Structures are given as structure tokens and as C-alpha cells.
Amino acid sequence: MDKFKELLTKSNYLTSFFTCSILFLIFLILIQTLISRFSRNGKLLRKIPTPPTFPLLGNGPIFLAPLKYWPRIISWMCTWCGPTFCVDAVFKSFIFTKEPEVIKKILPFTRHSDKAFVYKMGHFYLGENAIVTAPVSIWKADRKVVNPGLNTISNFPKFLESFNENGKRLADRLFSNNDTRKGRDIYVDLFQTTTEIVFETMFDYPIHDKPDIAHDIAKAAINCSDVAKSKLIRPWINIPPTAYLLGYTKIHCKMLADDKRSVKFTSYLHLLYEQRLATCDKLDVDELFYQFNTIIMGGTEVPSTVLRIVLYLIALYPEVQLKLREEIEAIFGIGADFDVKLEDVGRLKYMDLVLKESMRLLPATPLHGRCVGEDVDIGQGRIIPKGTSVHFLAWDIHNDPEIWENPKIFNPDRFLPENLIGRDPYAYLPFSHGPRSCPAQKFGNMELKVLLCQILAKLEVSTDLKLEDVRYTYGIVLHFDGVGLPVRFRKLD
């Protein structure tokens, strides 16, 4: 009898618990419904098409799917809702768009320069006040240091010296690690080279003879990128206690985290250090390491991914590769051991077209995001309310047949001046647009050109992987699943 009473008591507790849980869930659904129907922002966002929704959760659960499905999910949403649509995730709404007319109302303006909510997923690695993630007030001060350093002509000879030396080492590394039978993905080789370049140019600290450092940096950056992706598709990870228990806390590169006081801030870190001393009452040393991590991420992952894509595409299209090599030989000679000089960079006209088309067909950064600083009227009775995160679908814009003729075909000639007449500049977003676009565009363009010259002057690249068989996923940069982008090399006679 006593045992029965005990079981009955437990049953009553469970019944009460589930009853309270259901009532609380109903309460949340009611609150969400009231907010979405009667708040000002809710009324405005309801005028923007949205996919089918679930009670309480909205349509956010769609994005809990693995990242490899995101391109298809977003394409389906564009077909279902139109080129601009709204996604509701519990109590937060997000706008996605591939309309150039909408994009040009946001990206050019500083008042819309705060980064979108999704960038918070990278705060554990990049912090809240680094170049990529900082609010506008801090970003404005930091860009006065970073932009001139990256874009001042007096610094270019130093950059070019590093690009040339590392390009020659990269060509030798690619050939020595070559797989002539099946080919192989060369991302690790490219990442090592771009890491060495960043340390030489940004930090005045050569590491080409310190492979253990380059390895640690590469491993840390790749791990952090994976964690950021996990935080994006698993929202519960972002709850502080859960994040702590799972180990998703602050991450610094191992070589610098051991003893911060022993690190000598050089080059851009030193300039940023001085900038913060001049503008802040109290200097947070952690912020300098977040800046370090940001420069590492931007200076390694992005150019490595772009170069990986370019080499794969010219391997897939040998006629393009031949024209590139003819241009290189016309400038530097056949079989010559050369250094690319500043005046040579501007002479590589066809290479310009190849780089632009590569970043159109397979954009290294497939998504960009901003938080609008005031209401934005995007036409047709649609208004994006202040504080809403807007995401620009670079991948979908670049592959839209209404904007680009035969978008799945790799055709560098589409970027000839006569073929660009009448095309909206906001239909091409490799590095975003406006005041908060990538500050290292000139640096990256020079780096890619020099590395390509040094590789193609010595090696011929080929592949067996067809474009339709490439498996990619969204992330901080575009990632490639399965075999990646395997290529093989042959030394030129």
C-alpha cells in the first residue's frame, strides 16, 4: 500500500510537471503570436514573404539541417517566397535577399554597417570588438589603422617580396606532394603558404622555417571554423552554461596563449595597440589577440579558398589555363625564374578576368550580413525595420540566370568591359560592398596573382572532378565535402 502511494505521488509530480510545461509552451506561443501580429516590427515583417512556419519555433528549424543542405534550402526558399524573404526563429527574425535593388539600399551606407546577428557565433574566436565583428564606433577607429597599412603603395614592395618567395616555395611543395594518379586536395598546402605570408607581412615574423608554428595556427583556425559552424546550426550551444560545459569558450592560437606578456606586438598589431591606448581608458589585451585571430582568419582561410577554387577551375578548363600561361610567358618569358613587380600586377589583364569569374562561380564567402540601423523601404510596400539582420545571398546572386547568362559555365570573358555594360554592380559580391567591405582586397588580389604566376610558370594543373560533382557547404568560407577539389600537377618542359 505504501509503495502504491509512493508511485501515485510520483505520478502526480510528473503529471504536474508536464501540465506546467504544456501551459508554459502555450504561454510562449501566445506571446510570440501577439508580438508577431501586433508589434510594429511584427506587422512590417509580415508583409515580407516567409516560408511555412511551425508554432513557436517559426521556420528557423529548417536551418538546423546540416550545412551541406543550406544551399538547396535557400534556393528552395527563393523559389517559394521570391528573391527576398523573412525567416522567423522563435523571437528573432532574419531577412535573406538576392535582389541587387534591395542590397544597394543597405550596403553603401555606414548607418547599416553593424554586422548581422549571425556574426555573434564567431565571438568566441574573434571577440566582439575585432575588425570583422566590432560595432561601427570601434570599427571606424580600427580601419584608420588597417586600411592605410594594407593599401599604401609604399608597403607593396615588402608584400610582393613575400608573395614571390612563398609562391616559389608553394610551387615546389605542390609538385613534391603531388598525386599523379588520382590527384589530391591541396588546401593544406595553400593554407600553409598563406599563413607564412600573413606572418611575414602583417607581423614581421617569418615562420617558413618553423613548420610546427604554421601547423598549430592552421589546426587552431580550422577547429575554430568548425566550432563556429556548430554554434550556427545548434543554437543551444550558445547558452553560456552549455557553451562552457561543451568547451566552446574563448579560443586563442596556442603559440600566443601560453604567455601573452612575452609577445612583442609588431606591425599592425602594434599600430592597433597604440590606437587603443589613444582611444580607450582601459586597454583589454584580449582584444589584441582577437585582432590577431581576425587577421589570421582573413589572411589565410579566404585567399587559400579562392586559390583552391581558381586552380581547380583552370584545371577543369585547360583552354583558360593555356591563355593564362601565354599571358605570363609574354610578360616574364618562357621558363624564366622571375619576380613579379608592382608594374607587372596591372599587366595581368586576363588573370583579372579569371579571378573575377572564379569568385563569381564559386564565391569563397557565400553569405554576407548587416544589421540595419534604421527602417529601410525596399519597395512594393515592404519595409525592413530597424535592428533587423539582413543576409545577402552572394552564391544565389552569382548563379542567378536572370542576372548572368549561363551562370554555371566558367567564362572569364563575361567580365570584359564591354560585357559589363548595364550590369548592376550589386549583382557581384565576392568581398561585399560599401564602407565595410573587405579592407584587404588589393593585398589579396596581388597575393593571388603572384602565387598563380609562380605556380603556372612551372606546373600544369589538371583534374578529373566534374563541376556538377563538387560537394560544398556554407560556413565562414565555402567548404568542400568528400574528396574536396582534387588536382594533380605536371612539370612543364
Q: Dmax of the chain from CA atoms?
A: 99
Q: Residue 348 corresponds to which cell in the numbers above?
A: 595581368
In a domain, 6, yes or no: no
| CATH code assigned at 173 | 1.10.630.10
pLDDT (tens digit, 9 = 90+) per residue, 428-455?
A: 999 888 888 888 888 899 999 999 999 9
The torsion angle over the Cα atoms of residues 166, 170, 172 and 177, rounded to 10 degrees, is 150
In-domain check, residue 421: yes
Let me know: does 426 contact 97? Beta carbons within 8 Å. no
The answer to whether residue 461 is domain-embedded is yes
pLDDT at 89 over 90: no
Task: Say if residue 308 is exposed, middle or buried (CB neighbours under 10 Å; 0-12, 13-18, 19+).
Answer: buried
Q: Is there a binding annotation on residue 438?
A: yes
pLDDT tens per residue across span 384-402:
999 999 999 999 999 999 9
Asked, for residue 220, whether it belongs to a domain, the answer is yes
Is the pLDDT at 1 greater than 60? The verdict is no
Q: How far is CA 376 from CA 109, 190, 386, 437, in A?
A: 11, 41, 7, 20
Amino acid in the structure at residue 209: D
Q: Which domain holds residue 462?
A: 98-491
Question: Is residue 371 in some structural domain?
Answer: yes
DSSP 90-128: TTEEEEEE--HHHHTTTTT-GGG-EEPGGGGGGHHHH-S
**Burial label, 423 (beta-carbon count in 10 A; 0-12, 13-18, 19+):** middle
Kindly indicate the confidence band of residue 163, based on its pLDDT and cuts at 50, 70 and 90: very high
- Model pLDDT, residue 4: 46
Residue 434: count other Cβ atoms within 10 Å of its Cβ: 17
CA angle, residues 67, 133, 103, in degrees to nearest 5: 70
Q: Give the whole-number percent of the chain exceeding pLDDT 90.
A: 39
pLDDT number for residue 253 = 41
| Helix, strand, or coil (residue 84) | strand
Cα–Cα dist 455/452, whole Å: 5
* Per-residue pLDDT, 62: 73
Neighbours of 69 (CB within 10 A): 14
For the ranges 36-50, 269-283, 469-483, the maximum mean pLDDT occurs at 469-483
Q: Does the residue 140 lie in any domain? A: yes
Would you say residue 397 lies in a domain? yes
At residue 69, the 3 state secondary structure works out as: helix
Name the CA radius of gyration of the chain, rounded: 25
254 with 281: CB under 8 angstroms?
Answer: no
83, part of any domain: no
| Residue 400: closest CA among 429, 378, 432, 371 | 429
Query: What are the distances in angstroms from CA 146 to CA 7, 43, 62, 184, 435?
Result: 68, 41, 38, 36, 13
Q: How would residue 470 be classed by pLDDT, with cut points 50, 70 and 90?
A: very high
Angle at 188 between CA 475 and CA 219, to 5 degrees: 70
In the chain, the number of structural domains is 1
Judge contact between 160 and 342, C-beta under 8 A: yes
Give the pLDDT mean for 73-87.
89
Interval 250-269: pLDDT, tens: 444 443 444 343 344 445 66
